[in-house]
Amino acid sequence: MRDAPTGSRGLASLAQREMLRIWKTWTQTVFAPVISSILFIVVFGLSLGERIQQIDGFDYREFIVPGLVTMAMVQAAYNNNSSSIFQARSDRYVHDVLSAPMRPWQMNLGFNLGGVVRALAIGALLLALAIPLTGVPVEHPLIALVAVLLGLILFSALGTVVGIFAETFDHHTFVSNILILPLAFVGGVFYSVESLAAPWEQLSHVNPLFYLVNAVRYGFLGTSDANVALCLGVTAALAIPAYLWAQWLFTSGRKLKA
């Protein structure tokens, strides 16, 4: 029987490995996404912001910060976990994890922590640079934190699931480049969907990232294109099943023991 202290040590070791994987290549895992997002803020927010009228009473450079921070964080959470679990399967390292005296929920949590920590590091650095540059306020920090955590649970778990099912490296990058990135761009990162004509405004409400972006934006600016409770509810309704799906894969060993 796997006792609690042994399982806890295994969880700590797995989480530590995932952290070391991030910090050893910090220029790629943390620094590069921060620079990319800051360039978006400089080019669109500062350079073009003077030519764009205010949106919901905020300067354009302030309006785009929450969406850009969200986009950078969810991409990092997904990419980290999908590549980590895929590499663990490819190198057969995952078999060592599965045979360790750990419970399935500890394995799932250990892998998912890597994506969450990487995303939080990127978000913290982005805010440290963006707040002085743009003066973006943080009106409701608790709501922003809850929205971010729900979003990271969703995309970390999604990355874990895709990494488990992926047969080649291109499979997990396909989801990031063809699904997540386009949905983020059309989810209201750079504009308010209320400015769109029908049917594009209505179609935007089908996009799950629309609700996450607007929940985070409400946390920063106190304004949103949708009710903030609805935004948090939709994000939670997606995050919980995604995490449970990842949990089921570790519990059953599906695609992991092959």
CA-CA distance, 144 to 66, in Å (whole number)?
9
> Which phi and psi angles does 55 have, rounded to 5°?
-115, 120
Report the amino acid identity of residue 233: G
Q: Flag whether the pTM goes above 0.85.
A: yes
Non-local CB neighbours of 216 within 8 Å, separated by 6+ positions: 66, 67, 69, 70, 144, 147, 148, 151
Contacts 24+ apart (CB under 8 A), 39-47: 40/64, 40/68, 41/65, 41/68, 41/130, 41/133, 41/134, 42/133, 44/190, 45/133, 45/134, 46/133, 46/134
146-171 pLDDT, tens per residue?
A: 999 999 999 999 999 999 998 888 88
219-254 pLDDT, tens per residue?
A: 999 999 999 999 999 999 999 999 999 999 999 988
CA-CA distance, 106 to 128, in Å (whole number)?
32
83-98 pLDDT, tens per residue?
A: 999 998 888 888 888 8
* Extents of the domains making up the chain: 4-252
